[in-house]
DNA sequence: TTGTACGCGTTATCAG
DNA sequence: CTGATAACGCGTACAA
């Protein structure tokens, strides 16, 4: 089963080191013998054993992307952008997924040792806890899409993300400014300590800034048993809200997926968007623009986050120093679901 | 930087094999020394080197999922289901992505050697070509979501997929049966030899079966420079079709993503769905059900494909024999975009 | 129950 | 330019 470098050496009548040189594009080797060796390699179905390679190698020139939440709809785009940029730097790289319950630090640590990584990019995952454990990661890494409150010391680290609280506040501002005074929110679960919490805080801030009181009845939390930001959950939450007959003239969902479900529920109940209820989401997923009516949302600068994450990582690899974390601006897409084509709807 | 098993041994004043035994839950070790060792391991930030492990190991009890097209919207679900089922079998596993230009066979071969895999599941990727090269894969594998014309000999292999041609035909049948005679299609690019081609063939067959002639003017091909099944592309294609003023009373898009874009284009032009144009997609993405109007689609049995893929793989690992490839039935979701609540629309 | 010593497949270091 | 040989870190016979 296992063809090894030794077998190839024997077949070619050369030493193993010569084969190794041929395989790894080493300079000091006779082009002819190299050609000959590579040919027999091809014919022999020889596949080098990466474990042995990594074990011996000291310098790898490779980085890994560790993806936590597969569900996240814009990770696909980010991964594509990152791949391109990393390849351009002549680095090898690979993408690996982690299960929901897999620990990000542990797998990172393993991977670093196994592959002799130069750096890591984390996509998703929660880095607000685990602070001491994170310190164990000794290669540069950047957290993409989520931020640290403060960078872990003793690490070479950074983050690239949007400022969830501020951007959330802005989109709720927008709702206020179009005249709404009774704004409901589809939030994440009560225990959430991550971006869901931040977006809810942004909502609260915006209301206060506009002199509106926060009516807890208008805050719909995600069920703690199923905390995914899904259309289904958005639908359910909105149905429930409608049943309560709490008054509201606008809804802000902290995720575009949820907002789609919410729209379905509203339309089913005969509500018009935005005439009866204005609607806004968050994230900037493509299909909010394709929905009828087009849905207002806060668009994450997905490609820019990806690009800068890679940029910063290479920077840190070179300087061996942490870089300041970066908040990139999201852009408010004002669309029909809140403006209805006009600038203001509610003006009571 | 590198704590090794030797260092731990020294620290504990024991031999390396004892440490190894503690780490790998071997039975013949004194519980106390084991406890002691594990404690120092914890304190020392020791991380075992997987490369060295894999190099030595012969039996791995692990399988890999190789994902090719990140874009595919239901891969996330599939991966989740697979993970669960594999874990239940006490196998370790991991998911790895491949770039667009990365060769699936090569990476598989490397991984098999590196990790001593027992089996592989391929998600996406094209296995209709490369037939001889595939034969090099000596561990059982199943191709999920795409089918072989015939199973590669000398391999332990199988596939689980829907019958794209037949299911495509069925949904176009549905359009015919609701009275449509002028049915357009948003197809993939002309050079496509994969599922896109099959779905187009299904369309042709359905029309013929209903005594309708295939008007090439009603076949819209994806641009060869950007062959992704995206909303954006669906939108563009539909705009173009509308400009041509080719007559049609129904559209079938070979992907749900494209159908969303198409709907946008139709609604923008003031067409009503389904009164003016009936609309159908393919894949069964959640989103179609939440759209207004809800869109008729052919739903892939995503979870079942995932489940059976894993099942078959374990089966092959055990028996060491290929299993017959499997076509799983898709289910037609008749929704408002074609029925409008009634059973038939066009009846001329 | 424990420790010693060897080998897994490569690459790196030398001496030729 | 090439070939022997020593690591790389770990698992595992085998001996104790």
Measure the CA–CA gap between B212 and B181, rounded to whole angstroms: 7
Cis before B293? omega within 30: yes
Contact call for A260 and B287, based on CB within 8 A? yes
Which of A75, A85, A292, A306 would best serve as a mutation to test chain B binding (most B beta carbons within 10 A)? Answer: A292
Report DSSP letters for B277-314, one per residue: -EEE-SB--HHHHHSSSPPBEEE--HHHHHHHHHHHHH
Q: Exposure of A252 by Cβ count < 10 A (0-12 exposed, 13-18 middle, 19+ buried)?
A: buried
Question: Of all protein residues, which has its CA closest to the C1' atom of C4?
Answer: B15
Strand C lies under 7 A from the Cβ of residue A129: no
Question: For residue B180, what pLDDT is reported?
Answer: 96
Contacts of B79 in chain A (CB under 8 A): 70, 97
**A52-61, A105-114, B98-107, range with greatest mean pLDDT:** A105-114
Are A337 and A274 within 8 A, CB to CB?
A: yes
Least confident of A135-139, B10-14, B59-63, B277-281: B59-63
Question: Of all protein residues, which has its CA closest to the C1' atom of D5?
Answer: A17
Which of B292, B293, B335 would best serve as a mutation to test chain A binding (most A beta carbons within 10 A)? Answer: B292
Question: For residue A345, what pLDDT is reported?
Answer: 43
Contacts of A273 in chain B (CB under 8 A): none
Same CATH fold assignment for domains B62-162+302-329 and B164-300+332-346: yes
pLDDT band at B341 (very low <50, low <70, confident <90, very high): low
Contact call for A96 and B96, based on CB within 8 A? yes
B135 touches chain A (CB under 8 A): no
**B206-244, pLDDT tens digit by residue?**
999 999 999 999 999 999 999 999 999 999 999 999 999
Q: Provide the residue ranges of all domains of chain A, joining segments of one domain with +.
A: 5-56, 62-162+302-329, 164-300+332-346
**B300-318, pLDDT tens digit by residue?**
999 999 999 999 999 999 9
Contact call for A292 and B287, based on CB within 8 A? no
Enter the CATH code of domain B164-300+332-346. Answer: 3.40.50.2300
Please report, rounded to whole angstroms, the spatial distance between the CA atom of protein residue B243 and the C1' atom of nucleotide D4. Answer: 75
Q: Determine the 3-state secondary structure of B14 from DSSP.
A: coil
Strand C lies under 7 A from the Cβ of residue A16: yes
pLDDT band at A1 (very low <50, low <70, confident <90, very high): low
Report DSSP letters for B209-267, one per residue: HTT----GGGEEPPPTT-----HHHHHHHHHHHHHHT---SEEEESSHHHHHHHHHHHH
Please report, rounded to whole angstroms, the spatial distance between the CA atom of protein residue A33 and the C1' atom of nucleotide D6. Answer: 25
B287 touches chain A (CB under 8 A): yes
Short-list A51, A303, A25, A285, CA closest to B116 = A51
**B160-214, pLDDT tens digit by residue?**
999 999 999 999 999 999 999 999 999 999 999 889 999 999 999 999 999 999 9
Question: Of all protein residues, which has its CA closest to the C1' atom of D3?
Answer: A15
Paired residues of A332 in beta bridges: A298
Please report, rounded to whole angstroms, the spatial distance between the CA atom of protein residue B16 and the C1' atom of nucleotide D14. Answer: 15
pLDDT over 70 for what percent of chain A? 97
Residues of B (46-85) whose Cβ lies below 8 Å from A: 47-55, 70-71, 75-76, 79-80, 83
Please report, rounded to whole angstroms, the spatial distance between the CA atom of protein residue A83 and the C1' atom of nucleotide C14. Answer: 39
CATH topology of domain A5-56: 434 Repressor (Amino-terminal Domain) (1.10.260)
Measure the CA–CA gap between A300 and A304, rounded to whole angstroms: 9
Q: Which CATH number fits domain A62-162+302-329: 1.10.10.10, 3.40.50.2300, 3.30.70.20, 1.10.3720.10?
A: 3.40.50.2300
B154 touches chain A (CB under 8 A): no
Contacts of A76 in chain B (CB under 8 A): 70-71
Measure the CA–CA gap between B192 and B181, rounded to whole angstroms: 26
**A249-270, pLDDT tens digit by residue?**
999 999 999 999 999 999 999 9
Question: For residue B129, what pLDDT is reported?
Answer: 72
């Amino acid at each position: 089963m296992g063809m090894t470098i030794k077998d190839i050496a024997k077949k070619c009548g050369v030493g193993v080191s010569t084969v190794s040189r041929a395989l790894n594009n080493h300079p000091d080797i006779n082009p002819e013998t190299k050609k000959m060796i590579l040919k027999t390699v091809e014919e022999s179905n020889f596949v080098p054993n990466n474990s042995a390679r990594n074990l011996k190698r000291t310098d790898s020139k490779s980085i890994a992307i560790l993806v936590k939440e597969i569900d996240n709809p814009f990770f696909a785009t980010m991964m594509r952008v990152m791949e391109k940029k990393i390849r351009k730097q002549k680095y090898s790289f690979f993408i690996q997924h982690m299960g929901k319950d897999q620990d990000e630090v542990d797998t990172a640590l393993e991977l670093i040792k196994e592959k002799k990584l130069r750096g890591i990019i984390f996509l998703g995952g929660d880095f607000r806890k685990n602070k001491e454990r994170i310190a164990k990661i000794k290669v540069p890494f950047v957290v993409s899409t989520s931020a640290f409150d403060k960078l872990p010391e003793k690490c070479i680290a950074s983050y690239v993300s949007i400022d969830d609280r501020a951007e959330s506040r802005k989109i709720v501002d927008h709702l206020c400014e179009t005249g709404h005074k009774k704004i409901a929110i589809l939030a994440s679960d009560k225990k959430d300590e991550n971006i869901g919490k931040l977006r809810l805080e942004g909502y609260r801030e915006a209301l206060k800034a506009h002199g509106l009181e926060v009516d807890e009845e208008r805050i719909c939390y995600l069920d703690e048993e199923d905390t995914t930001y899904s259309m289904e959950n958005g639908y359910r939450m909105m149905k429930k809200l409608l049943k309560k007959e709490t008054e509201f003239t606008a809804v802000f969902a902290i995720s575009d997926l949820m907002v789609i479900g919410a729209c379905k529920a509203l339309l089913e109940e005969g509500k018009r968007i935005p005439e009866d209820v204005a609607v806004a989401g968050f994230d900037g997923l493509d299909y909010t623009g394709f929905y009828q009516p087009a849905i207002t949302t806060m668009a994450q600068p997905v490609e820019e986050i990806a690009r800068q994450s890679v940029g910063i990582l290479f920077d840190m690899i070179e300087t061996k120093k942490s870089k300041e974390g970066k908040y990139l601006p999201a852009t408010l897409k004002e669309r029909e679901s809140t403006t209805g084509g006009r600038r203001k709807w509610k003006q009571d």
